[in-house]
Every structure is written in C-alpha cells, then in structure tokens.
Amino acid sequence: MNEIGKNLKRVRLLKNLSLKEAGLLLNMTATAISKYEKGEILPDSKKIIAFANAYQVKSIDLLKVYNVPKMKFTSFRKKKRLVGCNLKLLEELIQNEVAKYFEVIELNNIASNSIKLKKYSCNSIEEAEEAANDFRKFINISNKQPISDLINILENLGIVIIQIQNPNHRFDDFDGLSEIVDGIPVIVVLDSIMDGARQRFTIAHELGHLLLDIGNEKLDSEKLCNRFASALLMPKEAVINEFGISRKNINFFELTAFKNEFKVSYAAIVYRLRDLNIISEYLYKRLFIFLNQKIGKKDPKPIPPEISYQFKKTVFRLEADEIISLNKACELLGVTVDEYNSEDNNY
C-alpha cells in the first residue's frame, strides 16, 4: 500500500465511513475506493481534491508523508474494548504524530543524546514514592508546592508530549502511552480529556513508566506507576500539611480547596489519604459514598486540561527563521495559510 493510499484509508476510517459510504460520497464503487487505498490506482490532483472535499479535510492531509519510526507499544494502556480496527488505527495515528514531531525535532537540531532522564530502581511502593520525591528535587519544586504546569515542565526536559485527536470519541478506551522512541522519551494522551485532573494523572503515570526501573516482573507496574503519579502530584509533606497526620472526618471544602490547588481529582485525593494512613478504610469508603452522592461520576467543575505548545512553537520558529517554508509549516500544523497567519498575528 502506498503512502497516499494509507492516508486515504486512515482518513476514511477516522470519518467512520465504510467503503460503500465513501463510494456514495464520491460517486464511485466500493471496489474503486479500495483500489485507491491499496495503491492499485494512483489518484491524480483532481481525485485528491475530490477525496478531500468528500471527507471534509485538506488535500495536504491526503498527500503528506513522514518517516514513520518503529514503536513497540509495550507501555500502551487501554481498556479491553479497544481492539481490532480501532486499535490498529490508533497505533497508526500515534506513529504518524510521532513521526511528524520527530521531523520537527530533527529540523530544530535537537539530538536525542542530549535528552537524559534519570532512572530509578523500583521494587516496592515505598521506592516509587521516593522516586517521585527525588524527581521533584530534580525539577526544583518543593514537596509542599503543587506542580502548576506538568506538560510545560516535562517538555522543557525534552520529553515529547503528544495529544491525539479523538474524533467521535472513537478512542475513549485509550488511557495513555509512554515509550523511548529512537532515544527520545514520548508520552501520548488524548487531547479530548476534558478533566485536567485525569489528564495530569495520566501523564504523571506514564512518566513513571519512563523513569521507574522495575526489576521484579512479579510486581504490578501499573500500581507502582500509580503510586509514583500520586506522590508526584500530591507529595506526602503537602498532604500532611493540608490535612494533618490523622483524621476522623474530612470536610468537602477541604477536598475542593486541595483539588483546585494541586489540580487533582477528588478520587485521587481520597486514595492518597488512605495510602498515607491519614484516614481509615471506613472513612475512605464513607467519603467515596459521599462524593458519589455529591458530584456523581463526572465532576461538574473539572480542572481545565493542560495544553502542549512546544510543537506549535517550534514550527512557528522554524518558519520564522526560514528553515521551512510557509506551506511546510501549514502541513505540519494541519492549517490553511490564512489560519496560520491569523495565529501568527496573535503571538
């Protein structure tokens, strides 16, 4: 299958169209659509425009080609429902986004050997906690302070943060991904996570996968990374400073104030209080019952999600320095020239 054919198929699947439905839009047979996707027929410029109009995308989305890196997808967290075509499509999307980002990194002359992350030996919950505390020292943030912008901090360390689009909630069952790709640490999350608390915890969890060296295969790496994330976002010292060493009851306002300051969820706070033995198992269960009654499954006042600016900033810089053309910048950002100039004027 040629690259244009791959693009045609990927965009069609993202639009949730069958071959027959795509054929009806283009006044073609399903067989013809399939041949274009397999590369058996090469589309000319008129056909590319026809496909783009039918799928409501830009022509460049069907023409762009990147040097896709090999990925192992070993630290790929998903629910069991994400299988088959959707899983394969998501993996292809991730690889393409990583490839696009890596092209920008190469153009910006960033060497992978300049990005060094410390690895922490971890064979227990306690060592996961210690690793989080040590990492906070590394980024010069006190154990009494919240991390206000996690994405910005990690990007400044050279970690690539990629936020994948989630059309029609197709990838809702995807939790997160972390991997060292060609020597560069990568974390992938959905860009449609409306609750910033969940987004930040996911990123912190994936950071745990990158940093923790878990020697014992019998240990639950997910639990260790959860503990790392919890300790990173809510260090023990800060939690005790806010709630005390031991409590028989917790007021809802206390939880809300801590949630807003440290940008974590109610559930994450309650888990943390139990893990630190500040509350009993009985109070832990009572608080969850109370929270379910008070706010339900979805927080009515969620923490705003963080946004990654690094990729976009780098593309604008490369275009401003005339390292890439305006058209190339538009291709990388997936915007028109007018949209690009509009954003440029806002900077």
Per-domain residue ranges of the chain: 1-65, 107-243, 310-346
Which of 17-31, 168-182, 240-254, 319-333 ranks highest by mean pLDDT? 240-254
More confident site: 138 or 75: 138
Cα 108 to Cα 34, 69, 104, 291, distances in angstroms: 38, 18, 6, 48
**What residues form DSSP beta bridges with 176?**
77
Res. 345: pLDDT tops 60: no
Tell me the two tokens of residue 268: 């994450």
**What residues form DSSP beta bridges with 164?**
190
Please give the DSSP secondary-structure letter assigned to residue 245: S
Indicate the average pLDDT of the chain.
Answer: 90
Please compute the mean of the pLDDT values over residues 99-121 and round it to a whole number: 82
Q: Give the model confidence (pLDDT) of 143-180 as tens digits.
A: 999 999 999 999 999 999 999 988 878 888 998 999 99
CA end-to-end distance (rounded Å), the chain: 40
Label the pairing between strands 174-181 and 184-190: antiparallel
Please give the DSSP secondary-structure letter assigned to residue 289: H
Q: Give the model confidence (pLDDT) of 277-333 as tens digits.
A: 999 999 999 999 999 999 988 898 999 999 999 999 999 999 998 899 998 898 888
CATH class belonging to 1-65: mainly alpha
| Contact criterion met (CB below 8 Å) for 83 and 154 | no
CATH class belonging to 107-243: mainly alpha
Label the pairing between strands 76-78 and 174-181: antiparallel
Q: What is the pLDDT of residue 292?
A: 93
CB atoms inside a 10 Å sphere around CB 257 = 12
Token pair 């509350």 in the structure block, residue: 279
Q: What is the pLDDT of residue 29?
A: 92
Cα 199 to Cα 76, 91, 196, 289, distances in angstroms: 15, 19, 5, 24
Report the candidate in 158, 69, 125, 153 with the shortest Cα–Cα distance to residue 271.
125
| Contact criterion met (CB below 8 Å) for 164 and 97 | yes
CA dihedral 130, 133, 134, 138 (to 10 degrees): 170
In one-letter notation, the amino acid at residue 174 is F
Please compute the mean of the pLDDT values over residues 234-253 and round it to a whole number: 96
Please compute the mean of the pLDDT values over residues 115-133 and round it to a whole number: 92
